[in-house]
């Protein structure tokens, strides 16, 4: 008989789930059972290919620790891989024993989720270990708990060896109606590639770097769009119209390659990005200087005088800019 243990915790020394798994392993090995444990945190790059190892087992143990919420990411990934890639005929009727310990609230829900997931996969459930542990040393040294774990391990052996019949559940009926539960057909080459890619740290690292680079580009693009909208909003908010005054300003933002157009006609104001060949004033500056102007840290005229902004055209209209747009620092 062969039983696989799939451990979904983080491998911490004080993890009570590890102590339970060690105790169960000792009992099963005394019964001449071949026990193999897969630590999912060590196999994290190859979790999708671990579903293949179920074929070799007569029964499995799903062991996890609730540290804050749920069964944990590694165990979720493993169950996902079983749903997508495992041999459904082998899963059908395969015995599973859940082992769940919790250092916080939620062990019952985690055990329920493991059982329900396995039933949806077509397997059978054996009674397992479900416990809240506030002190891992006290839990591990408690002889009463140890005897209970031994009995549970023996019951697992007995259930598999005698093929004890379990009452049917509605999950089995539900599973037959889920077409998405059919394993994805993979050729041997595709299976090999899947295993190769997920276990290749260089490949995974390169994928992460590419994702981070794309994320950075999108953040930069979104940031620029946000700045553009902020300039338009600031000019409209701080506009002080002058009767019978008409003028247009074209401000080239050198570091973005865009030109910000401001058109004033009495009480009417238009702000947009584009081109205006007949503007009364042509100015050129950096986005940091324009940001300082709309933040009220420097005036348009002051930026021109200090050389942070260059301009040509009607200088009387240029001086009127600070009257039309009165920005105040906060």
Q: CATH no. for residue 307? A: 3.30.1050.10
Is 217 inside any structural domain?
Answer: no
Per-residue pLDDT at 181: 46
Tokens of 145: 């708990």
Could you tell me which of 111, 82, 97, 107 has the C-alpha nearest to residue 175? 82
Let me know if residue 206 belongs to a domain. Answer: no
Positive or negative torsion for Cα 152, 158, 163, 167:
negative
Domain boundary among 184, 206, 225: 184
Range scoring the smallest mean pLDDT among 111-120, 165-174, 241-250, 301-310:
165-174
Q: Clarify whether residues 138 and 37 are in a common domain.
A: yes
Share of the chain above pLDDT 70, in %: 83
d(CA 203, CA 285): 43
CB atoms inside a 10 Å sphere around CB 278: 6
* Per-residue DSSP letter, 129: E
* Same domain, residue pair 158 and 292: no
Please tell me whether residues 131 and 273 are part of one structural domain: no
- Kindly state whether residues 28 and 106 are assigned to the same domain: yes
Closest CA to 23 of 144, 118, 125, 116: 144
**Domain end call among 168, 184, 200:** 184
Q: How far is CA 199 from the centre of its chain?
A: 19
- Are 153 and 239 in a shared domain? no
For every residue of 219-282, DSSP letters joined together read HHHHHHHHHHHHHHHHHHHTB---TT-EEEEEEEETTTTEEEEEEEETTEEEEEES--TT-SEE
Same domain, 32 and 163: yes
CA–CA distance, 326 with 296 (Å, rounded to integer):
8
Q: Tell me the CA end-to-end span of the chain in Å, nearest whole number.
A: 75
pLDDT at 219: 53
Contact 194, 48 (CB under 8 A): yes
Q: What is the pLDDT of residue 173?
A: 60
CA–CA distance, 101 with 115 (Å, rounded to integer): 15
- pLDDT at residue 79 in the model: 94
pLDDT at 328: 76
| 317 touches 279 (CB < 8 A) | no
**For 265-287, what is the mean pLDDT?**
92
Distance of CA 45 to the CA centre of its chain: 16
- φ/ψ region of 72 (left if φ > 0, alpha if ψ in -120 to 50, else beta) reads left
pLDDT digits (tens, 9 = 90+) for 20-69: 999 999 999 999 999 999 999 998 888 888 888 998 899 999 999 998 88
- Looking at every residue in the chain, the average pLDDT score rounds to 85
> Rounded CA gap, 40 and 181, in Å?
23
For residue 144, is pLDDT > 80? yes
The verdict on residue 113 lying in a domain is yes
193 pLDDT above the threshold of 60 = no
Element (H, E) at 63: strand 59-66
Supply the pLDDT for residue 113: 93
> 201-237 and 287-294 are packed helices; what angle lies between their axes, rounded to 10 degrees?
40
Residue 220 placed within a domain: no
Q: Mean pLDDT, to the nearest integer, of 152-166?
A: 90
Q: Which residue has the higher pLDDT, 274 or 206?
A: 274
Domain that holds residue 309: 235-324
Please report how many Cα atoms fall inside a 13 Å half-sphere around the Cα of residue 182, on the Cβ side.
Answer: 4
Condensed to tens digits (0 to 9), the pLDDT of residues 216-237 reads 665 555 445 555 678 888 898 8
Give how many domains the chain has, as a whole number: 2
CATH (domain of 42): 3.40.50.360
């Amino acid at each position: 008989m062969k039983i696989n243990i799939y451990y979904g915790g983080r491998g911490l020394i004080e993890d009570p789930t590890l102590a339970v798994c060690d105790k169960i392993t000792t009992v099963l090995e005394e019964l001449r059972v071949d026990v193999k444990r897969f630590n999912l945190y060590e196999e994290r790059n190859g979790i999708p290919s671990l579903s293949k190892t179920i074929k070799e087992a007569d029964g499995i143990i799903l062991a996890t620790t609730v540290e804050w919420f749920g069964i944990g990411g590694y165990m979720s990934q493993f169950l996902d891989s079983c749903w997508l890639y495992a041999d459904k005929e082998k899963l059908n009727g395969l015995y599973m024993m859940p082992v769940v310990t919790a250092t916080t609230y939620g062990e019952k829900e985690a055990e329920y989720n493991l059982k329900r997931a396995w039933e949806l996969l077509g397997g059978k459930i054996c009674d397992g270990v479900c416990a809240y542990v506030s002190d891992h040393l006290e839990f591990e040294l408690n002889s009463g708990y140890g005897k209970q774990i031994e009995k549970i391990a023996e019951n697992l052996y007995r259930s598999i060896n005698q093929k004890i019949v379990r009452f049917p559940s509605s999950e089995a009926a539900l599973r037959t109606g889920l077409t998405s539960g059919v394993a994805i057909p993979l050729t041997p080459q595709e299976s090999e590639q899947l295993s190769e890619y997920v276990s290749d740290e260089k490949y995974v690292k390169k994928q992460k770097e590419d994702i981070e680079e794309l994320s950075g580009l999108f953040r930069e693009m979104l940031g620029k769009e946000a700045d553009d909208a902020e300039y338009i909003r600031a000019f409209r908010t701080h506009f002080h119209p002058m009767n019978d005054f008409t003028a247009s300003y074209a401000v080239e933002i050198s570091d973005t390659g865009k030109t910000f157009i401001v058109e004033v006609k009495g009480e009417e104001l238009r702000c947009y990005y584009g081109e205006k060949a007949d503007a009364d004033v042509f100015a050129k500056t950096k986005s940091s200087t324009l940001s300082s102007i709309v933040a009220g840290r420097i005036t348009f005229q002051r930026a021109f005088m200090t050389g942070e902004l260059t301009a040509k055209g009607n200088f009387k209209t240029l001086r009127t800019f600070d009257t039309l747009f009165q920005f105040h620092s906060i």
